[in-house]
């Protein structure tokens, strides 16, 4: 005789879970958890601060709102989505983490992430490092000149900036031109060897978006729209984000 499925959470109503169930398909999919632990096995944040994806999910499913939304572990999640790919039921734990972060008052969220998000909204390049567009262009041109002069076979390599009509618009993590400019070169070599028609843009050139990690929907959307507008204004067909 088949046993009836056990539905976690029962008739309990919680504000956090109610919000999640409005957003995630199939009522949040939480009742489908098999407690197999596959989500935790490949998670880089497993064990940090006494938490892991499986434990976090069980707490959410049981309606432990306060424990879930106030636990600092949510800020160690990288949103890499390994847990989703490992889960046989496809439960979207990173989405739960995202909305748990939103339960934190903005001024209490991690200062480094918050400041990086705010910094990106202050400049045309959307650099979380605060790197200006002209500085970015200068560094690119300076490094390119050095590569042409010191690396045989790359004397004719091009690194276009603001090339209208290029097929690919390429973003660059702004930490590299600021602190490790030589780290940009391997990607340039790939584009060069492939014969790709590409360009950087002085607007929207930075690849990172800390506003997403801050769970600030409004700022996240603003950054993405600014980058998309930069791609469209250049007439590029494909947007390549290196993040």
Asked, for residue 76, whether it belongs to a domain, the answer is: yes
Q: What is the CA radius of gyration of the chain?
A: 22
For residue 225 the two structure tokens come to 């729209």
User: Both 126 and 94 in a single domain?
Assistant: no
Q: Render pLDDT for 56-114 as a digit per residue (tens, 0 to 9).
A: 988 888 888 889 899 999 999 999 999 999 998 888 889 889 989 999 999 999 999 99
Tens digits of pLDDT across the chain (243 residues): 444 443 444 444 557 777 767 766 566 566 778 889 999 998 999 999 999 999 998 888 888 888 989 999 999 999 999 999 999 888 888 988 998 999 999 999 999 999 999 999 999 999 999 999 999 999 999 999 999 999 999 999 999 999 999 999 999 999 999 999 999 999 999 999 999 999 999 999 999 999 999 999 999 999 999 999 999 999 999 999 987
With 0-12 CB in 10 A as exposed, 13-18 as middle and 19+ as buried, what is 35? exposed
Domains in the chain, number: 2
Asked, for residue 201, whether it belongs to a domain, the answer is: yes
The domain containing residue 221 runs over which residues? 111-240
Q: What is the pLDDT of residue 62?
A: 82
Asked, for residue 5, whether it belongs to a domain, the answer is: no
Q: What is the pLDDT of residue 40?
A: 95
For residue 117 the two structure tokens come to 């998000």
User: Both 92 and 124 in a single domain?
Assistant: no
Domain boundary among 104, 138, 157: 104
């Amino acid at each position: 005789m088949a046993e009836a499925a056990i539905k976690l959470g029962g008739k309990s109503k919680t504000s956090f879970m109610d919000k999640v169930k409005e957003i995630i398909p199939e009522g949040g999919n939480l009742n489908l958890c098999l407690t197999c632990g596959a989500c935790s096995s490949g998670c880089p944040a497993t064990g940090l601060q006494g938490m892991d994806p499986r434990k976090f999910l069980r707490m959410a499913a049981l309606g432990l709102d306060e424990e879930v939304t106030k636990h600092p572990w949510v800020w160690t999640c990288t949103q890499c989505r390994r847990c989703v790919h490992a889960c046989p039921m496809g439960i979207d734990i990173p989405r739960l983490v995202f909305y748990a972060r939103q339960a934190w008052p903005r001024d209490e969220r991690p200062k480094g992430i918050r400041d990086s998000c705010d910094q990106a909204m202050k400049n045309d390049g959307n650099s979380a490092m605060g790197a200006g567009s002209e500085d970015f262009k200068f560094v690119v041109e300076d490094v390119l000149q050095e590569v042409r002069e010191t690396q045989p076979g790359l004397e004719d390599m091009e690194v276009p900036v603001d090339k209208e009509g290029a097929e690919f618009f390429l973003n660059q993590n702004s930490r590299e031109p600021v602190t490790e400019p030589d780290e940009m070169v391997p990607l340039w070599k790939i584009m060069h060897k492939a014969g790709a028609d590409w360009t950087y843009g002085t607007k929207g050139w930075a690849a990172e978006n800390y506003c997403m990690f801050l769970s600030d929907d409004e700022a996240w959307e603003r950054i993405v729209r600014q980058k998309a507008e930069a791609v469209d204004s250049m007439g590029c067909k494909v947007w390549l984000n290196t993040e």
